[in-house]
């Protein structure tokens, strides 16, 4: 029997272009009746497409599926299955890590948005920061771009961060350094210790912790830190370092640009 491309498309749920792609990759071969006749396929072509979908279901690429369908080397097939199995185990582990990260962020969002504007003493978790922009100026050198891309590739574990110069803020100056952040626990999960070393390490430290809601693309530093300065003065604390923030949610970017930021300000008791 002869089957036109439209019939096979409906039968297998593949677009006509998808079938032609499989043909270009050598998985099936069309036939024509005479010069300029319509293209048709036969039963073996339908079976080849079913086999291709089978291999694609395991995550093999189209070219890998073609190799498996057309090879006569049994050892090649066995090795291909073993290799794909190892890849799947790695992918599953990564998906589990992403799921853990998602659950942690969901819990963080629920907990911290209820603490909006409150100030509390807490230990800052350990993390690394890769700084890339001072105010609006990119500060990375061209040779650092590859490192930056590799950090970005670790999303969703990487988070947007801002470090502010506390001394400058105290003088009313607005100086912000944008960075990518990566928690130490996530670095260990990902086995990314070498890559993380390109950033600056922030060890655990006693901090004032607060959550702010920033609105607008040019929010003032006073919006973030006025209540922290008041708390520092009231409790007679000494600031022991620059405040660092983690953006836990960014939304409505095209209009209000709303961000929820968790801020850590290192402190110690006044002498």
Q: Which of 47, 70, 93 is the last residue of a domain?
A: 70
Q: What is the DSSP string of the chain?
A: --EEHHHHHHHHT--HHHHHHHHHTTS---EESSTTPPEEE-HHHHHHHHHHHHHHHTT--HHHHHHHHH---HHHHHHHHHHHHHHHHHHHHHHHHHHHHHHHHHHHHHHHHTTBT-EEEEEEPPEEEEEEEETTEE---GGGHHHHHHHHTTTTS-EEEEEE-HHHHHTT---EEEEEEEEHHHHHHHT-HHHHTTSEEE--EEEEEEEEEEESTT--HHHHHHHHHHHHHHTTEEE-S--EEEEEEEE-TTTT-EEEEEEEEEEEE--
| pTM of this structure | 0.80
**CATH, residue 63:** 1.10.1660.10
Pair 196, 260 in one domain: yes
Of 17, 50, 70, which one is at a domain's C-terminal end? 70
Condensed to tens digits (0 to 9), the pLDDT of residues 167-193 reads 888 887 778 899 999 999 999 989 999
How many independent structural domains does the chain possess? Answer: 3
Give pLDDT < 70 ranges for the chain: 34-37, 217-223, 271
Please give the residue range of the domain that contains residue 34.
3-70
Neighbours of 49 (CB within 10 A): 22
- Give yes or no: residues 87 and 150 share one domain: no
The CATH number assigned to the domain holding 122 equals 3.20.80.10
How confident is the model at residue 152, as a pLDDT? 97
176-183 vs 159-164, strand pairing mode: antiparallel
What pLDDT is attached to residue 221?
57
Q: Specify the DSSP class assigned to residue 105.
A: H
pLDDT of residue 35: 64
* pLDDT of amino acid 34: 65
């Amino acid at each position: 029997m002869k089957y036109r491309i439209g019939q096979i498309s409906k039968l297998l749920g593949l677009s006509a272009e998808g079938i032609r792609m499989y043909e270009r990759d050598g998985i099936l071969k069309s036939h024509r009746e005479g010069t300029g006749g319509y293209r048709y396929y036969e039963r073996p072509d339908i079976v080849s497409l079913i086999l291709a979908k089978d291999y694609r279901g395991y995550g093999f690429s189209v070219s890998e599926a073609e190799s498996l369908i057309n090879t006569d080397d049994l050892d090649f097939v066995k090795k291909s299955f073993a290799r794909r199995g190892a890849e799947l185990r790695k992918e599953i582990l990564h998906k589990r890590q992403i799921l853990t990260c998602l659950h942690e962020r969901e819990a963080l969002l629920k907990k911290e948005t209820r603490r909006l504007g409150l100030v509390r003493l807490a230990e800052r978790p350990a993390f690394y920061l890769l700084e890339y922009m001072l105010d609006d100026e990119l500060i990375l050198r061209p040779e650092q771009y590859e490192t930056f891309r590799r950090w970005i590739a670790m999303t969703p574990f990487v988070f947007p961060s801002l470090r502010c110069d506390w001394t400058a803020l105290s003088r009313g100056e607005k100086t912000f350094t944008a960075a990518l952040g990566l928690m130490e626990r996530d670095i260990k999960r990902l086995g990314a210790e070498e890559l993380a070393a390109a950033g600056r390490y922030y060890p655990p430290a006693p901090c004032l912790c607060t959550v702010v809601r920033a609105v607008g693309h040019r929010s003032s530093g006073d919006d973030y830190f006025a209540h922290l300065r008041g708390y520092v003065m009231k409790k007679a604390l000494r600031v022991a370092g620059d405040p660092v923030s983690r953006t836990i949610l960014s939304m409505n970017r095209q209009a209000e640009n709303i961000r929820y930021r968790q801020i850590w300000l290192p402190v110690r008791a006044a002498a």
